[in-house]
Structure 1
Amino acid sequence: MKNWLRHNRGFLIFLLLFGLFRTAVADWNPIPSGSMRPTLIEGDVVLVNRLAYDLKLPLSNVILARLGEPRRGDIVTFDSPADGTRLIKRLVAVPGDVVEMRHERLFINGEAAAYELLESVREPLDPVGPVDATRSMESGPLPPHRVQWLSGVAARDSFGPLRIPAGQYLMLGDNRDNSADSRYFGLVPRALLIGRAVGIIASADITGNWMPRPERFASRFH
């Protein structure tokens, strides 16, 4: 055993440093579901900046130093406050904001989001199959980004008004009718934020033939 450790010391040190890098500096996050469609799709692998908000003690949620502030519109990875599952959603409200949704329209601090119709498409929905979907560009209190709604799907399309307390954040999926988000599990404490997603590293069709999607490699969110 001692000989094995001595001969493999360099490799073991590399694994340790690599693990610390992934848990404290940068990470990648595969997208397993369609909750962020059309921005992110199943099989995308996103790069996550773990130092965007906080420096944490590796392998923990203990914050050692605050490095930046989460902003409305950020795409954020975090641990679910319900069961600890790692999730990725869009941050739509920060501490002090008053947020509500009225029949799918967001209001933040009294400002209504604007919606520009983009297209109608067919979207997958397990276990039902393809359904009609409407995509729009949402803007106003948030930076412009695409969202979509699914025809015939019952989802929580109204809530609030709610004032976001200190140290808490409200998350929504861009696929508004097919996303388990803050409408269901509540607000997310800052300590559970992992980092900000900054772009797509690679992508493959994991729901079909597993072929790579070269057009999505090394791409920014749009």
Structure 2
Amino acid sequence: MAAKEEKKQNAIVETIKTIVYALLIAGVFRTLFFQPFWIPSGSMKETLLVGDFLFVNKMAYGYSYASCPSLIMPRFGINVDAKDICGMFDGDNTRLLGGEPERGDVVVFRHPVSGRDYIKRLIGLPGDSIQMRDGVVFINGAAAPQEPAGVFEEIMEPQGPEGRRPRCANGPVGDGGVCQKTRFIETLPGGTEHIVLDIAPQASDRTGVYRVPEGHYFFMGDNRDNSADSRLAQQVQGVGFVPYENLIGRADRIMFSSAGRSMLFFWTWRGDRFFKAVE
């Protein structure tokens, strides 16, 4: 009887050890190589849609305190921030094995104030001047050309787990209606092309000149009229200039995509977006 009880206890210990080892391996993998990221909002449409799932390439820019994973689950009272684990590396704005991001990269980074992970397109490099004039971005005084590219359409309905509804250029649209946005192909210095969307004239289409400090970057969403990004100061829920050390990694490829409120709703999976490159 004692031998049987001891065997049972050993089995429990081995199970616990297996779980601990698996979590450690997953933690190391996520810290050093790839971090999973769900797209929660429409700020990067149509490049990234609500419900896209991708892995962020952490090797692209090297490592800093921001490379440590955060685990934030308010529903369960869990709030483990990257600074709680790797805060001793914060503050010098440097990186280990650091690589320089390129203009046009789609980057995941830590918000300089809230610490939450954001994903946007890199528009301004250190030393650049950036300005919006009537919806067109000017980089160092030269316009990034925009070529008309038709209309982006989506169904007006709650999107993703948060149930957000899209904004439309074709006025108020009821549930089930077709929501439209004007598409443009924007070309950045160096030749990178990507789709940007326009909804309506607004204040963020016309700005003063932003001068990107050394060691910082300027980010914008592709869905230009529905993005809290570097055009807004951090104090007004924007992003402002992002320090080099706050970069987490580059988004290279969409692995999975679901248009529904849950990834378990297989009838809402977007098969045409599986393994799609992020451009």
Q: Give the residue type in structure 2 aligned to 1:192.
A: N
- The offset of 1:5, in angstroms, is 3.6
- The offset of 1:23, in angstroms, is 2.3
Residues 104 and 123, structure 2, Cα contact 8 Å, conserved in 1:
yes
Larger Rg over CA atoms: 2
- Structure 2, unmatched stretches of 5+, are 1-8, 69-81, 157-164, 233-237
Match 2:117 to one of 57, 73, 86: 86
Map of 1:193 onto structure 2? 247
Map of 1:173 onto structure 2? 221
Match 1:204 to one of 246, 252, 258: 258
Map of 1:146 onto structure 2? 195
What's the TM-score, normalizing by structure 2?
A: 0.72
| CA distance in 2 between partners of 1:104 and 1:154 (Å) | 9
> Quick check: 1:163 aligned with 2:211?
yes
* Cα distance change of structure 1 residues 40 and 8 upon mapping to structure 2, 3 Å threshold: same
- Flag the structure with higher strand content: 1
Pairwise CA RMSD of aligned residues? 2.3
Structure 2 matches for 1:24-39, cutoff 5 A?
24-39=32-47
| CA distance in 1 between partners of 2:47 and 2:203 (Å) | 19
Residues 96 and 166, structure 1, Cα contact 8 Å, conserved in 2:
yes
| CA distance in 2 between partners of 1:56 and 1:191 (Å) | 6
| CA distance in 1 between partners of 2:15 and 2:116 (Å) | 38
Q: Give the residue type in structure 2 aligned to 1:31.
A: I
Structure 1 stretch 140-149 or stretch 193-202: which is displaced more? Answer: 140-149
Alpha-carbon displacement from aligned partner over 1:160-202 (angstroms, at most 9, x marks no partner): 3222111111010000000111111211111211111011001
Map of 1:137 onto structure 2? 185
| CA distance in 2 between partners of 1:20 and 1:5 (Å) | 22
* Cα distance change of structure 1 residues 84 and 135 upon mapping to structure 2, 3 Å threshold: same
Map of 1:221 onto structure 2? 278
Structure 1 stretch 173-182 or stretch 123-132: which is displaced more? Answer: 123-132
Q: What is the DSSP-based 3-state SS (H/G/I as helix, E as strand, rest coil) of the residue aligned with 1:65? A: coil
Q: What is the DSSP-based 3-state SS (H/G/I as helix, E as strand, rest coil) of the residue aligned with 1:95? A: coil
Structure 1 stretch 4-13 or stretch 137-146: which is displaced more? Answer: 4-13
- The offset of 1:150, in angstroms, is 0.6
- Structure 1, unmatched stretches of 5+, are none
| CA distance in 1 between partners of 2:64 and 2:216 (Å) | 17
Shift >6 Å, 4+ stretches: none
| CA distance in 2 between partners of 1:164 and 1:145 (Å) | 22
Percent of residue pairs identical: 39
- The offset of 1:6, in angstroms, is 4.1
Residues 108 and 119, structure 2, Cα contact 8 Å, conserved in 1:
yes
- Flag the structure with higher helix content: 2
> Quick check: 1:66 aligned with 2:114?
no
